Structure 1
Amino acid sequence: MPTVSVGRDRLLAAIGRTYTQEEFEALCFEFGIELDDVTTEKAIIRKEKHLEDDSEVDEDDEVIYKIEVAANRYDLLCLEGLARALRVFTGTEASPVFQVSSIPRGSMLQMHVKPETSKIRPYIVCAVLRGVTFDEARYNSFIDLQDKLHQNICRKRTLVAIGTHDLDTLQGPFSYEALPPNEINFVPLKQEKSFRADKLMEFYKSDMKLKKFLHIIENSPVYPVIYDSNRTVLSLPPIINGAHSAITLATRNVFIECTATDLTKANIVLNTMVTMFSEYCETKFEVEPVEVIHHDGRKTVYPDLSCYKMDVLLSDILGPIGISQDEKQVVCLLNKMQLQAESHSLKGEARISVSVPPTRSDILHARDLSEDVAIAYGFNNVPKSKPKCMTIGGRQPLNRFSDKIRAEVL
């Protein structure tokens, strides 16, 4: 289960209410997550650097909450998503509505995909966050979310790799290519000199963080690379971004690209990034699209922030839980979990129509709706009952016979 570390004071400020540690722990339990540990910034640094005394650490004594979340809840992997979910759960605010900017196709930024990319990393999806306002805490959360996604759904960058860039330092249209490593030269992030791609792989074999990703492409005859119209390298996915387009606190327009071997997961990752941080855009919760032009002539616009619909029998939602609620009550419970729902009837049967937002990629089946209703209702409020059938455990006849044979042989 992933653990998210967030500053207590900033988290409570984002939720909009003060909680004691006991109250917050109870709130986490009600929501289906767990307050796993309470520590300080100093203690974390001391542990990472194997120091013996807090006086050796320059960091302050900020209290850090370590919160364990479900592995399929990618929207809870950062403070922004956690605070938003808890605000909706407690009724402080309604679920946000995410929108893609209305831009004519001819005016959109474009990403041209070359056919050679199919040999190594065939998919790319992109989006733009306009008018973003970063401070140090928001910037750190932005970077931390990328790391969390890389470790979880991205499977250590093998399935998806995220690149984020200062759009104002670049010139579109962009191109996604796959070239022999000796033809790729650029200055990588946090470096000052240019490297040829094959030499860069050798350089990073001593890097504790990046060396574990080198195997993904180092034995390939071509490496994936993203250029702008001036042939400036944005990134060498899934290894490193270019220094030229590095994000800073002064960045206002962010270009996000996700290269992948799994298109479904690439879309989930892109949607998670933009829905979490579009709240800091000039137009809140609005994302600018990018047109991806495939090598076969197809054109696709990303991101897709549309909600998808589920229409489920009320009995299919409540049956597995074992509670009795009417349609209005179930709609309210689903709304608490950021799922917009309406009730209706068809052929005399009560049904619930659910609009699943782009943040909830974990909702796939009626059982997922049952789980959310049970969380919102409160597991402690579900009445206890005895199982309808009782069984007594025992060895299978075949196992008993096998044991007797073993005893005779021995």
Structure 2
Amino acid sequence: MVIVDTTFSRMQELVKKELTIEELEEVLADIGMELDEVNGDIIKIEITAERIDLISVEGLARAINSYFGLVKGYEHVSVEKSDYVHLIDNSVKNVREFTRSFVVKGLKLSDELIKTLMQVQEKIHDTYGRKRKKVAIGVYDLNLITFPITYKAEKPENISFVPLDMIQEMSGLQILEEHPKGQSYAHLLQGLTLFPIHKDAKGNILSMPPVINSHKLGKISAATKDLFVECTGPSAEALDSIMDVLATMFADWEGTIFAVTIKDGKEEIICPSFKNQEWTVTADVVKKLIGIDVDTKKVTELLPKMQYMVLETKGENIKVSIPSVRTDIWHPVDIADDVARAYGYNNITPKVPNLSTVGGMLPLNKLKEDLANFLIGFGLIELNSWALTNHIDQYEKMNLVDEPHIKLGKDTQDSELNQIRSWMIPEAIKTLVANRSSGYPQNVFELGICVLPDNTKDVKARNVEKLVCLLCEEKTDFTQIKQILDAVCNFIGIEYAVKESKHNSFIEGRMGNVIVNGLNIGLIGEIHPQVLDNWDLKMPVTALEIDLSIINKL
């Protein structure tokens, strides 16, 4: 969640009708947000992290005005043409590839607005910007800059400027080592031989993104009237969205927005672009997802309350324009949810479904529960391990180079967690390692979920339910673990075969794939001595891992 700090009086200025605190609290709840705190005129509003368009009080006021029907859809932001040019040099292609920018003129900045700008900037960095990895924003005094601006990469020892809030020039490496912001974000440039910078036509360095701005050009005061605003990151789409959000905010501050032409090789991009998405929905989809009785006419009346523009209706099809700042709209379900909010969730009467069915466990969950009871009766101890793990445990310690898996990125709170497990055996081995001082045998099992990449799914991943069994004792061998497999398959009521195979985690000749109805559902074998050495295990281990998701479909 993200907190927007503002004042009730500022909200009153922006909303086109008289509001009480109670009415503000109610309308915020209706659009899915919350009035978190009221202290005199100071208010704190909690918004959901995906609604980046509401990260300023101006964005919230726009949403409230639309909800009350005081404006229709998303208010247009006027963008003036200009000759401003921002060049992207090829040197940044393998460093931090994209940049976007625009100019705003005629602002009347106060200390309060400057504070708001800094808060918005940092909240975007921390949320949508993923701690500046995805998006980093820079703001500068336009009148101190000479166009064209060039975005390029240079060796850090050749970069020299006075960073924000410092008094002496520093090199790129010095900034990372000595400046507080440099120390905080040095990891984003770690391992790079070239650092990205913005330079103007006179060779003045504006910033070294995503770390720090120049003190000379990036220091904003109440005397500043005109701004140059830029952002950098690995995703052009994300940058376009953020520039649209910021341009909208500055327009609401009564500034005039001027477009900048971004020249990236032979490609020219005009920023801000305000390129809205166009989708088609039907009232039938809304009815099925939300359960409210609405026709096409009613849906077309409700959509503008949530800032959509209805472009046309053909029969049951409603073509809508989605504001470019609505980065949270990924699926028709999101539009249906907005229709429900415009209708009012409090106006929906809960109904018990008229179904002649009896509730019960899902077949897969029933299978897992039965298997757990069976294996406990067989003398095995049940485990529960974490799904979050790391590349070393999943692959390197298992004598593997790599396999398809879901990465977590570099910004996890625990540096040792960088992926979701793609198979269960390594995580079960961790339990054996943690219990090396206990007596043997240690025979264990776990029923759990692995997550694998899958481009056919809308989330690009799928869950796989698995069973893993480990036998750890002095005389364990392939025959012993195969007896467990025999018992499990006999209990489930399926026939299987073991096809000899090779796998670097297992001893060659003592490992095989488990085949059911021609499908490979898992593996079985004796863990390789090198793997045991990697884990510092002194006892032999045999292992079995099978895919219950496949078995459940048989």
Q: Same fold (TM over 0.5)?
A: yes
Question: In the superposition, relative to structure 1, how do residues 381 and 210 fare at CA in structure 2: closer, same or farther (>3 Å)?
Answer: farther
Structure 1 counterpart of 2:86, one-letter code = M
- Aligned equivalent of 1:139, options 107, 114, 120: 114
Which stretch has the larger CA shift, 240-249 or 4-13? 4-13
Question: In the superposition, relative to structure 1, how do residues 404 and 319 fare at CA in structure 2: closer, same or farther (>3 Å)?
Answer: closer
- Aligned equivalent of 2:92, options 101, 114, 117: 117
- Aligned equivalent of 1:77, options 45, 50, 55: 55
Equivalents in 1 of 2:186, 2:3: separation in Å? 26
The match for 2:359 is 391
Question: In the superposition, relative to structure 1, how do residues 343 and 180 fare at CA in structure 2: closer, same or farther (>3 Å)?
Answer: closer
Greater RCO (CA < 8 Å, at least 6 residues apart)? 1
Equivalents in 2 of 1:199, 1:226: separation in Å? 18
Question: In the superposition, relative to structure 1, how do residues 332 and 138 fare at CA in structure 2: closer, same or farther (>3 Å)?
Answer: farther
Shift of 1:20: 4.2
1:319 corresponds to 2:288: yes
Q: Name the SS for the 1:311 alignment partner.
A: strand
Structure 1 counterpart of 2:333, one-letter code = R
Equivalents in 2 of 1:301, 1:321: separation in Å? 39
Equivalents in 1 of 2:65, 2:226: separation in Å? 27
Deviations 1:71-124 (A, max 9, x none): 211011111111121122122334311233234xxxx21112221111210111
1:11-410 counterparts in 2 under 5 A?
Answer: 11-39=11-39, 63-94=41-72, 95-103=74-82, 108-204=83-179, 207=180, 211-245=183-217, 246-283=219-256, 287-294=257-264, 296-345=265-314, 349-387=315-353, 388=355, 390-393=358-361, 396-409=366-379
Which stretch has the larger CA shift, 148-157 or 383-392? 383-392
Shift of 1:211: 2.6
Task: Report the TM-score, using the length of structure 1 for normalisation.
Answer: 0.85
Shift of 1:176: 0.8
User: Where is the strand percentage greater, Structure 1 or Structure 2?
Assistant: 2
Q: Is the CA contact (8 Å cut-off) linking 1:320 and 1:370 kept in structure 2?
A: yes
Question: In the superposition, relative to structure 1, how do residues 119 and 307 fare at CA in structure 2: closer, same or farther (>3 Å)?
Answer: closer
CA-based RMSD: 2.1
Structure 2 counterpart of 1:291, one-letter code = T
Q: How many residues align?
A: 374
Equivalents in 2 of 1:250, 1:109: separation in Å? 23
Equivalents in 2 of 1:221, 1:401: separation in Å? 54
Q: Name the SS for the 2:215 alignment partner.
A: coil
Question: In the superposition, relative to structure 1, how do residues 325 and 129 fare at CA in structure 2: closer, same or farther (>3 Å)?
Answer: same
Deviations 1:232-257 (A, max 9, x none): 11111011100122222222221111
Runs of 4+ in 1 over 3 A off after TM superposition: 16-23, 387-390
Q: Name the SS for the 1:256 alignment partner.
A: strand
Equivalents in 2 of 1:179, 1:305: separation in Å? 32
Question: In the superposition, relative to structure 1, how do residues 334 and 398 fare at CA in structure 2: closer, same or farther (>3 Å)?
Answer: closer
Which stretch has the larger CA shift, 246-255 or 180-189? 246-255
Task: Report the TM-score, using the length of structure 2 for normalisation.
Answer: 0.64
Deviations 1:170-202 (A, max 9, x none): 100111111111101111111221111211221
Which stretch has the larger CA shift, 385-394 or 297-306? 385-394
Q: Name the SS for the 1:320 alignment partner.
A: helix
Q: Mind listing any 5+ residue stretches in structure 2 that lack a counterpart?
A: 381-554
Structure 2 counterpart of 1:181, one-letter code = P
Shift of 1:390: 4.8
Question: In the superposition, relative to structure 1, how do residues 398 and 310 fare at CA in structure 2: closer, same or farther (>3 Å)?
Answer: closer
Q: Is the CA contact (8 Å cut-off) linking 1:73 and 1:360 kept in structure 2?
A: yes
Equivalents in 2 of 1:180, 1:282: separation in Å? 37
Q: Mind listing any 5+ residue stretches in structure 1 that lack a counterpart?
A: 40-61
Question: In the superposition, relative to structure 1, how do residues 35 and 338 fare at CA in structure 2: closer, same or farther (>3 Å)?
Answer: same
Equivalents in 2 of 1:184, 1:111: separation in Å? 20
Q: Is the CA contact (8 Å cut-off) linking 1:201 and 1:218 kept in structure 2?
A: no
Q: Is the CA contact (8 Å cut-off) linking 1:331 and 1:342 kept in structure 2?
A: no
Q: Is the CA contact (8 Å cut-off) linking 1:309 and 1:355 kept in structure 2?
A: yes
Structure 1 counterpart of 2:25, one-letter code = E
Equivalents in 2 of 1:322, 1:189: separation in Å? 54
The match for 2:405 is none
Q: Name the SS for the 1:147 alignment partner.
A: helix
